[in-house]
Amino acid sequence: MRAHRWRTGLVAVAAGLAMLVAPLVRSVPATASTAGFGQASAIRGADGSYALSWASTATAVTVTAGTSPAGGGDGVAVGSGAGTGTLTVPAGTLPATTRWYFTLTPNSGSPLVVADRSLGLPDATNFRDVGGYRTSDGHWVRMGVAYRSNKLSGLSVAEQQVLVDQHVTLDVDLRNGKERSDDPDRIPAATTYRVADVEDLSHGIDFHDGAVLTLLTALALGLLEGTGNMGQRIAYPFMVDFGGADRAYRTLLTGIAANPQATVFHCSSGKDRTGWGAAVLLTLLGVPRATVEADYLASNDYLGRADAVELSWLRAAFDEVDALYGNFDGYLHDGLGLSDATVDALRARFLA
């Protein structure tokens, strides 16, 4: 592995220093078509209306709205449509509540629950559901199980109640000590708070490969591919190479796996350390890379900044995974130290 890593790094450095050429062209994997729902979404409008859309192999779909991510139970019928269709739920149709989940029930096959990804928290605008995505093998990532966010230090009492209503019982903080001290989380009293510092040095400074080599490779590829922020382009591979980051993401994933209720994880802006954590979780669950990248880029919209994140940064982290471990499964087990039982528990918890 070490020899392979050195060859890869040296080739990248040589290429980056020798040629400043056009960015590399990367292919986007296609999503295979399988039975059931191939697409589904619920988007809440500014006026409180909902725009639903779906595509399925069924001939008809009925839609009910409820307050539970499990669907059913308290469902209120809001309409129906063809196997592939759309439905608008006008503002005022449903009474005000923290969050509405919509159960799409086909006339053949299993139902699917979707909701608007954002919880609409004014003081945590990047607080959003990790679920609602389709995997490569046709499963769906359940909503209401895990959320990603920016810092939670400004949550009002009403916003904290939203976390209670969504059964968020675990808060995993990926920030460093100074960030935690300057802006401590404001969360419900019953929510467990856990630190998973991605920059933690308490166990020493350890890298899976030479820090200098990681730095030079990231710099060379940043020059070769182009980036609007070289510092970020360099930082992402270190979230894979640094032992402290491994411990943090292991704490995050094992915590989510063990929590029977919902979990939120966050850093300061909810885009870099949190962005990689979400990318790792979604990839572990079998979500296609193109969808993982779209979720990552959505921080630009939620934060209202076109340059909040850049796709080349995320791809640099995935490239580091391949360079160090050969594949993503190697990263999960040899890098993060996850057991098969933890991986299986996460998949059982999330996949519908």
Yes or no: say if 201 and 294 are a contact pair by the CB < 8 Å rule.
Answer: no
The residue extents of the domains of the chain are: 2-22+117-350, 37-109
Lowest-confidence pick of 1-10, 112-121, 152-161: 1-10
85-125 pLDDT, tens per residue?
Answer: 999 999 999 999 999 999 999 999 999 999 999 999 999 99
Tell which CATH architecture fits domain 2-22+117-350. Alpha-Beta Complex (3.90)
What is the Cα 349 distance to its own chain's centre?
A: 15
* Rounded CA separation 168/161 (Å): 10
What does the alpha-carbon distance between residue 183 and residue 5 come to, in Å, rounded to a whole number? Answer: 39
**Backbone angles phi and psi of 85, in degrees to 5:** -165, -175
- pLDDT above 80 (res 214): no
Give me the pLDDT at residue 235, please.
Answer: 85
Cα dihedral across residues 41, 43, 48, 50: positive or negative: negative
pLDDT tens-digit series, residues 40-93: 999 999 999 999 999 999 999 999 999 999 987 668 999 999 999 999 999 999
